[in-house]
Structure formats: structure tokens, C-alpha cells
Structure 1
Amino acid sequence: MLTTGLILILASLGLAQGLFLSLYLFTLKTGNRNAHFFLGLFLLGLTIRVGKSVLNYYVPLENWQNNIGISGILFASPSLWFYGKALFDKNSSLSGKDYLHYIPFILFLFLIPFVPRKGSFESLWNYGIVVFHLLSYLILSWSNLRKNKNIVSKSIMAWYRNILIGASLIWLHYVGNLFDFEMYYIRGPIFYSLLIYAFSYLFLNRHKFNLQKYSSSNLDKESSAKLFQRVKELFNSEEIYLDDNLTLNTVSEKLNVKSREISQAINENVQQNFYDFVNQYRIEKAQFLLRDCHYKKAKIATIAYDSGFGNVTSFNLAFKKKTGVTPSAFRKG
């Protein structure tokens, strides 16, 4: 069992991280700014809601303070849906009628002094309606994800799906709280904290999760797949990877396509950068040569150069990274 002090530390750190990420997203000037704004709103709403649970667990709050915390869900829910719409269409913007989705939050805010906090009506109002409100937007968001699965890149789809899974799990925790399962009351904030840490790692680790790198590109998912197929055909037919001076610009000139689009096609279809993609072909060539009887007595350096590597050190490092063994061990094995 977690001690009271440890629960407070974990939950508080998660809340601080959530608040930091919200502010970071609000001030981020690059990439899809609409998407950043709505994601920031979603995280801020969750942070307010979870913060209320943490405070109320340790310090009894006034009715109006509890209600302010609960109101966070009412603007987090539509923000989650709008985030998906902005993520899938970077040119999207809110119309006048879209702001109607925030009316429940505004009404709740004005009615805070009058919203009861005792008895069965409290459970219906503060949890039943609010939990149902979040469920409604989760359904809309999952539907939006399904509708766009063949349009946007795999990385964006996976990212939004993971956010929806996390939001859905938080919703389940509050369903438990609705039915008066006390253990869910504080486990929700703990789970939220873990979710925020995972989110922070993925979002800030831009080399692995780089949603907005190609935000200005007009290359859609289908065109990206077709271009990637052309790149593979070029590599297989002309074996251009055997040139140790091969660059992205070389491929760009051969295919008469912008180098940025080639990089995007490779990144979106196999989640590799250009040089990792090239080295994959070179290592496969090296594996073939290491098994070739005509190269049985050839030095490792010869294998490296004939596979397209410019030096033996780079070859050894790349080969071991890919296969888990050195070229010499591979040959013996």
C-alpha cells in the first residue's frame, strides 16, 4: 500500500508537470498552434479536476472550491475533441457554433455557488452529468480517429490514440468514483500523474515523437506511401546505397522530388530517418557478402567498403546496432 505522504508527492509532481506542459503548449510558437492550444486546454482541465481530488483528499474544501475543480472536465472534454480535429487538419479553425461546446462549462461556472454538494443529487450532478459529458466527447473523439485513420500519418494516429486511451482510463476511474468506490478517488490522481510523465517523455522527446515536423507539407498519407515505394524501387534497382557519398539530395535529384518530401515519406512509412534507412540496405548487403563464398577470405574492411560504408568503424557500429553482433561474429556464426 502507498503511504499517504508518497501519494501526495506523486500526485503533486504530476499536477506540477501537467501545469508546466499546459503553459508550454500555450506558448509554443512552432508547428500546429491550434492543436497545441487545444491540447494545452485539455491538460489544464484535467489538471484542475485532478488537483481538486488531491486537495480534497487531504484538506476539506468548500463547496464552491470543489465545484471549480469539477468544472475542469467541462472544458477539457470538448478541447480533447477539438485537438483531434486540429491535429488531423492543420488548417481547421473554430467557427462561431463550435464555441457552443463550452457553454456547459460557462453555465457551471456561473452556477457554482448554487450547485449542491450533499446527498444523492450531488452524485448525479457533480459526477453523473460531468462523467457523461466526458464520455460523450470521448465517443466523438474515437469516432474522429476512426474516420481519419486512412488520411493522416501513422505517427499522428498512434499519438492521438494513446491520448484517447489515457483519457478513457481516467474516465473509468471517475466512473468508479461515481459509484462510491473510495479507492478510485485517489488512484485517479496517481494514474493521471503516471500518464503525464509518459506524455511528457513522448512529447518532449522530439526525435522519436515528431508530429509537427512536416506540418507545412502537402504530402498526404497516400502520396507518402507511393513516394516511399518509388524510393525503395530506386534503391533495389540501382543499388545507390553502395555509394558511400549518398545524400538525400542525390535521391531527390534522381526522383525529381523535394528532399523534404522524401525524408517525410521514409519517416512516416518506416519510422526511420534517411541515414538509418540507407544503412539498413547496406547492412543487408553486408550480411549477404559475409555469407558469400567469394568473400570468404575478404577482410572486414573490404566487406564494409563493398557494402557502401565509408569506413570500418561506422560499419561495425551500424552492423552491431542492427544485428546485435559484430560482422566477424556474424561470419563465424
Structure 2
Amino acid sequence: MNFFSFLNELRFTLYEVILLWIISSGAIYWYFSSRRKLALSKSSEATAVENSLIGETAKTKIFVDFSQLKNSIDEQIRTQQLYARPQLNIERLAQFLDIPVKQLSLLLRTQFHQNYFEFINQYRLMAAKERLISSEWAGKSVQEVYESVGFSSRSTFFTLFKKQEGITPAEYRLKHRSIT
């Protein structure tokens, strides 16, 4: 047996080894992925059973807590005019309200159906509209009004205002002054 014939036998064996390795890798992957899927489905079934075991009183209590928290947040933002702080962000608001940021974010999405920016800007817009038609703010410019309610960007204020009202703040002021 010469060296070249030995190499030919070795090459044939290498091809077989590679083929076996590919087939076995696929089989092993299939086995473990099917086991993982089975484990995940059992886990989700267990979670579903666990969730169905939660009593109606617990669900009601969670809803009531969120409802009470929603009312408390709304009241604090209005009475203390938290929206008027231009540097306010979700972290600072959560810190002021003494609740975790994740809980505040969840509450805004589930109870108010808004993200943080939509939530705060609605208060800012309400306050701006009140000030635009108020006799106390009659001599103030639109810029002074939007800055006083927490908007730091003119373009953001005008875009949101026009989207909500369909007219500019100056037009809103004129329209409502002529009515009153």
C-alpha cells in the first residue's frame, strides 16, 4: 500500500465523517429545539392555569389600585402644575410621584392609553388654551404662554396645538376672545 492509496482511503473516511457530523448535528438540534418548544408550551399552560386561579377579588383590587393611582396622578399633575416644568421627564415625574418608572409607564399605557409625551403634552395644551383666552394673560405673547406651561420648543407647541385645534394659537385666541 502506497502513500496515495492511503490518502484516498482517508479522504473517503473524512467525507463520511463530515456527512455523519452534519446529519447528527441536525438531529441533535431538532431534538433539543422540540424539547424547548414542549417546555415553553407547558410553561405557558401552567401560567394560564395560575392566572385562572387568581380570584376576582385580586383582579378587582389591582384594577382599583390602578384606578386610584390614576386619579391621584391626575390630581397631583393638575394641582401642582407639574406639567409646567420644562425639564420634566418620565424619570423625574416618577420620582416626584414616588413610584417606579416602569410602573408609571405601564400605568400611562394601560389607564391613560398614552405614552409619556402625549400624557404631559395634553395637560400643557389644556393650560395653554386656558391662558390664551384668559383676561389675566391677554397682554402676554403666545411664546410667554407656551413657555409658562412647560413647552420649550415653539415648533412642538405649534404642531401639537394645530393638530388638536385645527388653528394656530393666535387664531384660537382671537376666535375665543370674540365669543366672550
| TM-score after normalising by structure 2 | 0.63
Question: After TM superposition, where is structure 1 displaced by more than 4 Å over at least 4 residues in a row?
Answer: none
1:22 is matched with which residue?
none
2:138 is matched with which residue?
296
Which amino acid is 2:73 matched to? V
CA distances 1:44-73 after superposition (whole Å, capped 9, x unpaired): xxxxxxxxxxxxxxxxxxxxxxxxxxxxxx
SS in structure 1 of the partner of residue 48 of structure 2: coil
Out of 32, 48, 52, the residue aligned to residue 92 of structure 1 is 48
Matches within 5 A, 1:41-60: none
Out of 124, 129, 134, the residue aligned to residue 287 of structure 1 is 129
2:108 is matched with which residue?
266
Q: Structure 2 vs 1, CA of residues 324 and 151 (structure 1 numbering), >3 Å: closer, same or farther?
A: farther
SS in structure 2 of the partner of residue 305 of structure 1: helix
1:231 aligns with 2:73: yes
CA distances 1:151-187 after superposition (whole Å, capped 9, x unpaired): 48xxxxxxxxxxxxxxxxxxxxxxxxxxxxxxxxxxx
Instruction: Report the Cα offset of residue 246 of structure 1.
Output: 0.6
SS in structure 2 of the partner of residue 286 of structure 1: helix
1:315 aligns with 2:154: no
Instruction: State how far apart, in whole Å, the 1-side matches of 2:122 and 2:80 are.
Output: 16
1:278 aligns with 2:129: no
Aligned pair count reads 130
Instruction: Report the Cα offset of residue 93 of structure 1.
Output: 4.6
1:255 aligns with 2:100: no
CA distances 1:96-146 after superposition (whole Å, capped 9, x unpaired): xxxxxxxxxxxxxxxxxxxxxxxxxxxxxxxxxxxxxxxxxxxxxxxx9xx
Instruction: Report the Cα offset of residue 262 of structure 1.
Output: 1.1
Query: Equivalent pairs: percent with the same residue?
Result: 19
**Unpaired segments ≥5 residues, structure 1:** 1-32, 38-85, 95-143, 153-218
Instruction: Report the Cα offset of residue 325 of structure 1.
Output: 2.0
Instruction: Report the Cα offset of residue 306 of structure 1.
Output: 0.9
Matches within 5 A, 1:234-245: 234-245=76-87
Instruction: Report the Cα offset of residue 221 of structure 1.
Output: 2.4
